[in-house]
Amino acid sequence: MLFKAEITAPVNTVADIAQGRPTYATPLPLRVYPGKVTRVWFGFPKGCFGLAHLAITHQGVQAWPWSPLQSFHWNDYIFTFADSFPLTAQPFEFVLHAWSYDDFYPHTLTFMCFVDPALPEPSQQQIRQVYEDLGVSPGGC
């Protein structure tokens, strides 16, 4: 399932990354389903000129980019790559954090992720059926 969120990086918002105390614009939560993130996209419209930044956290820990206290920033570009990020514990959400060093214009940045849904756990009946189909007993005897 594809999830998408857009966040506006307001004019002249600062992130004190060097001191390890980032201050962002209002964070934007993106609710997702349990499963595994298999692809992500980060979109920067024309006119950002590398001034608008985007970082994504999950459960209070930075998920993308992978390096802590880093961010994606570019101009007229979409970062996209495959990933294997497990979503196994609640809350099933990402939080987008955006900021901009631009003095004049706000910038709307886009984040998208594809989540392969978690498979349901097999029931005891299904497990017994597998053993029966294989012709073995659950105890190995």
CATH number of the CATH domain containing 91: 2.60.120
pLDDT for position 11? 86
Task: Give domain status of residue 139, yes or no.
Answer: no
Alpha-carbon distance of 7 to 12, in angstroms, equals 15
Answer yes or no: is pLDDT of 19 > 70: no
For range 114-137, the mean pLDDT: 87
In a domain, 111, yes or no: yes
Tens digit of each residue's pLDDT (9 = 90 or more) over 28-84: 999 999 999 999 999 999 999 999 999 999 998 999 998 887 899 999 999 999 999
pLDDT of 2 over the 80 cut: yes
Residues 119-134, mean pLDDT to the nearest whole number: 85
Whether the pLDDT of residue 20 is over 60: the answer is no
Residues contacting residue 109 through CB under 8 Å, at least 6 positions apart = 6, 7, 8, 9, 42, 43, 44, 45, 48, 52, 54, 96, 98
Q: Is the pLDDT of residue 14 over 80?
A: no
pLDDT of residue 131: 86
Residue 141: inside a domain: no
> Is residue 22 in some structural domain?
yes
Number of domains in the chain: 1
Please indicate, yes or no, if residue 140 is contained in any of the structural domains.
no
Structural domain of 55? 2-134
Interval 93-119: pLDDT, tens: 999 999 888 889 999 999 999 999 988
pLDDT-derived band at 141 (thresholds 50, 70, 90) equals low
